[in-house]
Amino acid sequence: MANTQSAVKAARQNERRRRRNRMVRSATRTYVKKARVALAEGDIELAQEAVRQAVVALDKAAQKGIIHRNNASRRKARLMRQLNRIGQME
């Protein structure tokens, strides 16, 4: 348990940040999962929109420091690579 007033405040702030980070991380995972499902189905228009939303979510999470920028970049590259493969098949 926190002993000083500043430690109590820091604990409150940490909890608030943890909840916000968890919400953003969860939303980002949801967008990435939707993009992967759309890519697996092969519907190019649906996949393009889903990937675009996932890229935006990953960029925002990286900008807020919730995930590392290289992590976001790697995930975006993998999604775009899958999207380009679908585009070449048609």
pLDDT average per 10 residues of sequence, the chain (90 residues): 91 96 97 96 94 98 96 98 86
Shortest CA distance to 85 belongs to which of 29, 49, 40?
40
Name the one residue in this structure whose structure tokens are 């967008």: 31
* Cα 2 from Cα 53, distance rounded (Å): 41
In one-letter notation, the amino acid at residue 61 is: A
Q: What is the pTM of this model?
A: 0.86
| Total Cβ atoms within 10 A of residue 82 | 17
Domains, the chain, ordered by start: 5-89 (1.20.58.110)
Read off the DSSP letter of residue 47.
Answer: H
